[in-house]
């Protein structure tokens, strides 16, 4: 992948779309699609400009028909699943205010290897976070305050990155305080097979391949939002293959070298693999974050919490001390042994 420099804001959202077309063409993509969630904000003239720029098709993220757009579009208007059959090799995401919905909607294209880029990366990772100073991060974040006061200076490791919502946020907050690297472990192909109750207890949200975002798209977005490439380490693969049976030294991780660990695996089995892998890597006082601590009804049998409870039973000298949370499902802990 060609190196991309962090770009300033475009003059308008429409210009940002056109600039992202150019970016994907520079990555040797020739069949470029444009995706939106449920409201297409483009005029007929602008659609003609997109077509002239090489637009192959338009994808409505929610999968519903859009006859008004289809009647004025110079290219086919289709669904994510239909487009994943080979209609495009590059995808511009024009999410405006609906990024979370759009990233989920285009998962079939992520699984198909389509290179994706948001037209407005400053909306995905706001300028306030991308440009935050060390002092502002210290003042605003209890996590940063704890890291600074505790003298934690090692690596950051995240397991289950999806498109990078949490990873990029933590990178920008912690990059001035941690001296190690930022490790992104993910299948980059979505979830493994959940247990039946993991699907049932999340209203059907946890299904095989859900939350997929492919590795090249993650790496491209990391460049666009200003992640230091010298400190980014991406480890692809399902954890039964990338973690189980592997010595952490293969990835440049020494004993007690992880200071902050974020776990967003959703499911019992991958979380078990993660906890077994990081057991020798957490330094005393390290922070562990579980994104889905209270999902799956906070069950002791399925989900992230169940895996952590079993890990604590297997290691009676370990302790997770509640630290901080910003939403009901999330939980930070201080690790001690």
Are both 120 and 41 inside the same structural domain? yes
Helix, strand or coil for residue 290?
A: strand
Half-sphere exposure of 226 (CA within 13 A, CB side): 20
Are both 148 and 112 inside the same structural domain? no
Q: Mean pLDDT of all residues in the chain?
A: 94
Are both 146 and 204 inside the same structural domain? yes
pTM equals: 0.94
pLDDT at 4: 53
- Tell the residue number behind the tokens 């290897």, with chain if given: 113
Are both 194 and 76 inside the same structural domain? no
Where does a domain end: 124, 142, 166?
124
Q: Are the beta carbons of 55 and 32 closer than 8 angstroms?
A: yes
Are both 91 and 168 inside the same structural domain? no
Q: 231 exposed, middle or buried (CB, 10 Å; 0-12, 13-18, 19+)?
A: middle
Are both 111 and 169 inside the same structural domain? no
The count of structural domains within the chain is 2
Residue segments in the chain with a per-residue pLDDT below the cut of 70: 1-11
- Alpha-carbon gap, residue 218 to 214, rounded angstroms: 6
pLDDT at 2: 53
Are both 104 and 132 inside the same structural domain? no
Q: Which residues of 124-148 are buried (b: 16+ CB within 10 A; e: fewer)?
A: bbeeebbebeeeebbeebebbebbb
pLDDT tens digits along 198-229: 999 999 999 999 999 999 999 999 999 999 99
Where does a domain end: 104, 124, 144?
124
CATH classification of the domain holding 51: 3.40.1010
pLDDT at 10: 60
CATH classification of the domain holding 152: 3.40.50.150
Residues comprising the chain, all counted: 337
* 3 located within any domain: no
Where does a domain end: 124, 149, 174?
124
pLDDT tens digits along 80-108: 999 999 999 999 999 887 888 999 999 99
* 7 located within any domain: no
pLDDT at 9: 60
User: Percentage of the chain with pLDDT > 90?
Assistant: 86
- Alpha-carbon gap, residue 61 to 220, rounded angstroms: 21
* 104 located within any domain: yes
- Tell the residue number behind the tokens 């692809």, with chain if given: 236
- Alpha-carbon gap, residue 35 to 117, rounded angstroms: 10
- Tell the residue number behind the tokens 């630290």, with chain if given: 323
* 50 located within any domain: yes
User: Percentage of the chain with pLDDT > 70?
Assistant: 97
* 262 located within any domain: yes
* 261 located within any domain: yes
* 99 located within any domain: yes
Domain span at residue 294? 127-336
């Amino acid at each position: 992948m060609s190196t991309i420099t962090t770009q300033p804001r475009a003059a308008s959202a429409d210009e940002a779309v056109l600039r992202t077309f150019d970016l994907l063409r520079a990555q040797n993509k020739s069949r470029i699609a444009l995706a939106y969630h449920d409201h297409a904000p483009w005029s007929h003239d602008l659609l003609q400009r997109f077509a002239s720029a090489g637009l192959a098709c338009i994808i409505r993220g929610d999968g519903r028909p859009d006859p008004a757009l289809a009647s004025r579009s110079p290219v086919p208007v289709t669904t994510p699943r239909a487009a994943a059959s080979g209609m495009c090799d590059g995808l511009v995401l024009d999410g405006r205010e609906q990024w979370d919905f759009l990233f989920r909607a285009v998962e079939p294209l992520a699984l198909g290897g389509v290179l994706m880029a948001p037209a407005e990366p400053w909306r995905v990772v706001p300028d306030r976070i991308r440009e935050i100073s060390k002092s502002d991060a210290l003042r605003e974040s209890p996590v940063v305050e704890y890291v600074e006061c505790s003298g934690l200076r090692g690596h950051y490791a995240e397991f289950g990155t999806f498109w990078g919502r949490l990873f990029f946020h933590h990178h920008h907050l912690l990059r001035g305080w941690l001296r190690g690297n930022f490790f992104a472990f993910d299948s980059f192909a979505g979830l493994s097979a959940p247990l039946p109750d993991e699907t049932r207890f999340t209203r059907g949200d946890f299904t095989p391949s859900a939350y997929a975002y492919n590795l090249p798209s993650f790496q491209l977005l990391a460049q666009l939002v200003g992640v230091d490439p010298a400190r980014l380490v991406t480890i692809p693969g399902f954890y039964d293959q990338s973690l189980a049976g592997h010595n952490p030294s293969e990835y440049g991780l020494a004993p007690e070298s992880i200071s902050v660990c974020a776990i967003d695996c959703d499911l019992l089995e991958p979380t078990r693999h993660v906890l077994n892998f990081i057991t020798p890597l957490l330094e005393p006082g390290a922070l562990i974050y579980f994104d889905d601590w209270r999902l799956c009804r906070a069950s002791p049998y399925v989900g992230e919490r169940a895996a952590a409870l079993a890990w604590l039973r297997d290691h009676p000298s370990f302790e997770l001390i509640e630290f901080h949370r910003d939403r009901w499902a999330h939980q930070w802990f201080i690790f001690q042994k």
